[in-house]
Amino acid sequence: MAIVAPSNMNFSDKNIIMIISGLPGTGKTTLALSAPDVLLIDTDEGMARVNPAHRKDASVCKTYEEILADIKAAEGHYKTIVIDTCGALIEYMKDWAMRTDPKASKANGGFSLQGYGVIKSEFIRLSAELRKKFNVIYLFHENMTKNDDSLFYELVVEGSTRTLVYQPADLAGHLFIDHSKRYIGFTPTEQYSAKSAYGIRGIIEIPELKDGDANDFLTKLFAKVRKNLETQAQTVAPQKSQYEEVMASVREFVGNIEKPEDVIPCLKALKGLPHALTSEKEGQAAVKARIAELGIVYDKATKTYVYAEEK
Amino acid sequence: MSMQRRNKLRVTQSLLSSWLYVFKKDDGYESFLKTLNREKIPVTQAMLDGTRYENCLNNILKGEPLPMDHEWHDPLLEMAVELQGSSQQVVIFRDTVVDGQPILLHGVLDYLREGHIWDCKFSKTYHLNKYLDSPQTAMYLSLVPEAFDFTYIISDGKYVYREKYPREIVPPIEPTIKLFIDFLKKHDLYKIFEEKWRVNN
């Protein structure tokens, strides 16, 4: 085990899980290939649509087991795995679940409800496993659906897994084209799902790739995430350490409350502490919980704390 | 009692959520009138399930063992690990002024620790970004100006989902309260608000 203080934390090798979603033709695969040292798991023939100048290594598989084997072989050779598309990956997983887990098949041969449980668990396992060794980019096609008068861009993936695939992601961006320019939105809106974190938010324009330009948008974005994490950790570190100290005093003061007369001195002592982050509010909550536990209440008439039965 | 305190009106996230349902549900207006009049809302099975789930979680956080065969074992364990050491049921008030009207923001945070707020939800019909337009996010981040973010931590009984809102993407609550007050005035409901939600009530 290695205990590291926030001020010494190093995020330079933090792996990032990201979702990129967009309508067909918005350039999801090309954008994903701008991440560092990519291996593309091409379940959607996405590479064929990429400008040859920006193509990277790709794995073309027929089964989920082959995908896992290629990912295993990629360890140490690539920094980023792109799953193109995640909707197709789920289909591969369904096929794998039906072949390997009897629960996944209905008697009539269809995919069972329990089968979705199997692929949900496998998706969570795969994401956790991948994150240990790679950045991971899950690509999703989107559909436009009409909800009352407004449009919503929905991920193309089995309904019940749609919610789950978002969970391991650090970032999720909706890719769209407006007046011939490409943008990616990281703040969720009523029109699309997205996920903002580590200071990456709002809508960011993706520069047009001209001949000879390096395709490195995500390489730069991931570097920015790591830089933001480091800055954030350094800024918050002194507050966190002060918070820990204050909370130790809070626990001591609150633990000393045994009878009604102890409450006001404790509150005064809490007020005098050099509070940090949310320690003051947590201290007040701790006093409240402690006096409730002891059956102590505030008597407005005498402005003192008394046992409830005495009031 | 000062004049300002007498005129101060309480606003909770439940009140604002109930108002926003006016625009979403057919019976939203009737339901909102009940909330505005502080009438008791009938308890539904979903509310009972939510309370039972949260009680189980809080008991585990207080040190009670989690039986291996508990119907919600996996999600309860996952949440308990994340929420360990947090303060529970933290009651918070904060003064603000909207359109010249003194307002007392009032909320109860499910969990608070080290600058992070969590709200526990139990929803069998959870879907992505379910809480995107919930006024609770902006309300609670306004109540705790020193918090970095607000996370809805949700279980459907099998899995745990999270919707995390960093402060920088959440607008302040005051513009929503302004729209709420404008709505009340337009529909001749402001007097009920003044009467039922005055701070000394």
Chain A residues in contact with B129 by the CB 8 A cut-off are 188, 193
Contact between chains at B169 and A201 (C-beta distance less than 8 A): yes
Find, among B165, B164, B131, B154, the residue nearest to B75 by Cα.
B154
A103 touches chain B (CB under 8 A): no
What is the nearest CA distance from A239 to chain B, expressed in angstroms? Answer: 9
DSSP per-residue string spanning A188-228: --SSB--B-BTTB-SEEEEPP--TT----HHHHHHHHHHHH
Confidence check: pLDDT of A299 > 50: yes
Stretch A91-106: mean pLDDT: 93
Higher-confidence residue: A163 or A89? A89
Instruction: State the Cα angle at A70 between A65 and A73, rounded to 5°.
Output: 130
Rounded-to-integer distance, Cα A56 and Cα A46, Å: 12
CA of A276 to nearest chain B CA: how many angstroms apart? 9
**For residue A30, cis peptide bond before it (omega within 30 degrees of 0):** no
- The H or E element spanning position A57 is strand A57-59
Locate B121 and state its tokens.
Answer: 């939800």
The pLDDT value recorded for residue A113 is 87
Per-residue pLDDT, averaged over A264-288, amounts to: 96
Query: How would you class B122 by CB atoms within 10 Å of its CB: exposed for 0-12, middle for 13-18, buried for 19 or more?
Result: buried
A163 and B158 within 8 Å at the Cβ level: the answer is no
Q: Between residues 16 and 55 of chain B, which touch chain A (CB distance below 8 Å)?
A: none
Contacts of A282 in chain B (CB under 8 A): 87, 90, 112-113
Please state the length of chain A.
311
Secondary structure element (H or E) that encloses residue A147, with its range:
strand A135-147
pLDDT in tens, A65-76: 999 999 999 999
Q: Where are the alpha helices (DSSP H) in B21-106?
A: 28-36, 45-61, 73-83
Say which residues have a Cβ less than 8 Å from residue B56's Cβ, sequence separation at least 6: B70, B72, B76
Q: Does A133 touch chain B (CB under 8 A)?
A: no
Say if the Cβ atoms of A166 and B128 lie within 8 Å.
yes
Q: Provide the 8-state DSSP code for B198.
A: B
The 10s digit of each residue's pLDDT in B91-114 is 999 999 999 999 999 999 999 999
Length of chain B: 201
Q: Fill in the amino acid letter for A111.
A: F
> First vs last Cα of chain A: how many Å apart?
53
B104 with B137: CB under 8 angstroms?
no
| Residues on chain B touching A202 (C-beta within 8 angstroms) | 169
* Separation of first and last alpha carbons in chain B: 13
Which residue in chain B is spatially nearest to A286 when comparing CA positions?
Answer: B87
User: Is B133 within 8 Å of chain A by CB?
Assistant: yes
* Contact at CB, B126 and A196, closer than 8 angstroms: no
Q: What is the pLDDT, as a whole number, of residue B1?
A: 47
B160: chain A residues, CB-CB within 8 Å: 167
Beta bridge partners of B49: none
pLDDT digits (tens, 9 = 90+) for B29-54: 999 999 999 998 889 999 999 999 99
Q: Which amino acid is at A122?
A: E
Determine the distance in angstroms separating the CA of A264 from the nearest CA of chain B, rounded to an integer.
19
CB contact under 8 A, A277 and B92: no
Mean pLDDT for A271-278 is 97
Of B127, B129, B144, the CB nearest to A278: B144
pLDDT band at A222 (very low <50, low <70, confident <90, very high): very high
The ranges of chain B with pLDDT < 50 are 1
Q: pLDDT band at A310, cuts 50/70/90?
A: confident
Q: How many beta-carbon pairs under 8 angstroms link A with B?
A: 72
At B129, which amino acid appears? N
CB contact set of B110 (below 8 Å; sequence gap of 6+): B54, B88, B89, B118, B119, B120
Name the percent of chain A lying above pLDDT 70.
Answer: 95
Distance separating alpha carbons of residues A184 and A153, to the nearest angstrom: 13
- At residue B25, the pLDDT reads 84
Can you list the alpha helix ranges (DSSP code H) found in chain A?
28-32, 64-74, 86-100, 113-133, 159-165, 217-255, 263-271, 279-294
B162: closest CA of chain A, how far (Å)? 7
Q: How confident is the model at residue A6 (pLDDT cuts 50, 70, 90)?
A: low
- Could you tell me if A17 and A198 are in contact, meaning their C-beta atoms sit under 8 angstroms apart? no
Percent of chain A at pLDDT > 90 equals: 74
Compute chain A's Rg from CA coordinates.
26
Average pLDDT of span A110-123: 90
Q: What is the pLDDT of residues A17-58, one digit of tens each?
A: 999 999 999 999 999 999 999 999 998 887 888 889 999 999
Give the list of residues 6+ apart from residue B73 with CB closer than 8 angstroms, or none: B66, B67
- Measure in Å the smallest separation between the Cα of B126 and chain A Cα atoms: 8
Rg (alpha carbons) of chain B, rounded to whole number: 18
Distance, CA of A134 to CA of A19 (rounded, Å): 14
Are A278 and B159 in contact (CB < 8 Å)? Answer: no
Q: Taking CB atoms and an 8 Å limit, are B158 and A188 in contact across chains?
A: no
Confidence (pLDDT) at A200? 96
Q: What is the mean pLDDT of residues A144-154?
A: 84
* Interface confidence (ipTM) of the complex: 0.89
DSSP letter (8 states) at residue A43: S
Residue type, A31: L
- B112/A278 touch (CB, cutoff 8 Å), yes or no: yes
A window 138-197, beta carbon within 8 A of B: 162-164, 166-167, 187-190, 193, 195-197
Among chain A residues, CA nearest to B143: A281
| B87, B128, B160 ranked by CB distance to A285: nearest | B87
d(CA A36, nearest CA chain B) in Å: 27
**Which residues in chain A touch residue B87, judged by CB atoms under 8 angstroms apart?**
281-282, 285-286, 289
Query: B192: distance to nearest CA of chain A, Å?
Result: 28
